[in-house]
Amino acid sequence: AGVFRLRDVGSSMILGGDLLLDEPVLEVAADSTGAGLAFVRTEWHLYRAENFGLSWVTVENLSSTPTAIAIANTTPATIYVGTTDRGLLKSVDSGFTWERANDGLGVNPGTRLHIDSLALDPAQPEVLYVAASYLFGSTTVHNSPSTVAVTA
Which residue ranges make up each domain of the chain? Answer: 2-150
Looking at domain 2-150, what is its CATH homologous superfamily?
YVTN repeat-like/Quinoprotein amine dehydrogenase (2.130.10.10)
**Predicted local distance difference test score (pLDDT) of residue 81:** 96
For 100-115, the pLDDT digits (tens) are: 988 877 777 777 888 9
| 3-state secondary structure (DSSP) of residue 96 | coil
Higher local confidence (pLDDT), 19 or 135: 19
Helix then strand count (H, E) for the chain reads: 0, 14
Strand intervals (E) in the chain = 2-7, 14-20, 25-30, 38-42, 46-50, 55-58, 66-72, 78-83, 88-91, 99-100, 112-121, 124-136, 142-143, 147-150
CB 89 within 8 A of CB 80: yes
pTM of the predicted model over 0.75: yes
